[in-house]
Amino acid sequence: MSTVNANISADTLTGKIALVTGGNRNIGRETALRLADRGASVVITYREQQDSAAQTVKDLQAKGVKAAAIQVNLTGTAELAGFVAQFKQQLADWGRQDFDILINNAGTLRIASFDQVTEDDLDAVFSTNYKSVFFLTQQLQGLMANHGRIVNLGSGTARIAFGPLVSYGPIKAALQSLTLYLASYLGKRGITVNAVAPGGLDDDFNAPLFAMMPAKEFIKANTAVDRVGMPKDVGGVVAFLCSPEASFVSGAVINIDGGYHL
């Protein structure tokens, strides 16, 4: 069995170029590493944490692939044009005019009950988790090679209500719906578009939630496999969706939640 798994995962993405937004930490970092394991060169984006971005680039290069990081604030669209220009230049530096894989991972979180959510909260979550994904994908789809791959990071809270994330889950639901429309629109080019919907993961993205309430214990108690997830549980699934083996998977939303609330 181990020989079969090695044959499936190793070198299946050699020669491909991936863009992973928010690729310096958590799910984004794990996804970037798993793509590199399969031979893909990777460009990551980061907003503020330059040190973690630099370390991720080093870790990717240590796997024998090309890697680079571009700083951009993906709250809304103000910096998209500048970012696209930088990304095109990076592709040119690597001898390409197109790329193969887009992982829309960058996101933000606001924790508040329904009666506490402010307009600023909702605007920040919408602008980062939906609006920037919509327009970044719109601007980059012309640069994507035929038979490319797009994976959007959804959330289990799009399917199951979790009160403090009322400004987050419904917007992730919209992103998961957008995944279907993009799969339909880009399918004629052989581009697959899928989403993954992780459950509550033990990472620094969710750390504020875990710090203010016993969410980790609640999630574990309501998860079939009796544990809280980790970013590495997601990265490998995303990498599979980018592989040749997943060429007939499109328009899917894959729950990665250990059987939460079955």
User: What is the tens place of the pLDDT at every residue in 129-186?
Assistant: 999 999 999 999 999 999 999 999 999 989 999 888 999 999 999 999 999 999 999 9
Q: Which of 49-58, 181-190, 204-213 has the weakest average pLDDT?
A: 204-213
pLDDT of residue 129: 97
pLDDT of residue 153: 97
Determine the Cα–Cα distance for residues 37 and 34; give it in Å rounded to an integer: 5
- What count of Cα atoms within 13 Å lies in the side-chain half-sphere of residue 58? 6
Strand partners, 67: 42
CATH for 128: 3.40.50.720
Neighbours of 139 (CB within 10 A): 15
First-last CA distance in the chain: 29
Q: Are 30 and 231 in contact (CB under 8 A)?
A: yes
Q: What is the mean pLDDT of residues 53-69?
A: 98
pLDDT of residue 9: 55
Determine the Cα–Cα distance for residues 126 and 231; give it in Å rounded to an integer: 23
pLDDT of residue 143: 98
Is 261 part of any domain? Answer: no
Is 148 part of any domain? Answer: yes
Determine the Cα–Cα distance for residues 135 and 10; give it in Å rounded to an integer: 33
pLDDT of residue 245: 96
Is 69 part of any domain? Answer: yes
Taking the model in full, what pTM does it have?
Answer: 0.92
* Gyration radius of the chain's alpha carbons: 18
For residue 254, what are the contacts with CB-CB under 8 A and spacing of at least 6?
194, 195, 196, 197, 237, 241
Q: Which of 122-126, 131-135, 136-140, 229-233 has the weakest average pLDDT?
A: 229-233
Tokens of 88: 């095109």
Where in the sequence is the domain holding 141, given as residue range(s)? 2-256
Q: Give yes or no for residue 214 having a pLDDT over 70.
A: yes
Neighbours of 132 (CB within 10 A): 26
- SS3 of 226, please? coil
Determine the Cα–Cα distance for residues 130 and 17; give it in Å rounded to an integer: 24
Tokens of 196: 């993954």
For 67-117, the pLDDT digits (tens) are 999 999 999 999 999 999 999 999 999 999 999 999 999 999 898 999 999
Number of folded domains in the chain?
Answer: 1
Is 262 part of any domain? Answer: no
pLDDT of residue 206: 67
> To which H or E segment does residue 134 belong?
helix 132-140
Is 135 part of any domain? Answer: yes
pLDDT of residue 211: 73
Q: What is the mean pLDDT of residues 23-30?
A: 95
Q: Are 136 and 178 in contact (CB under 8 A)?
A: no
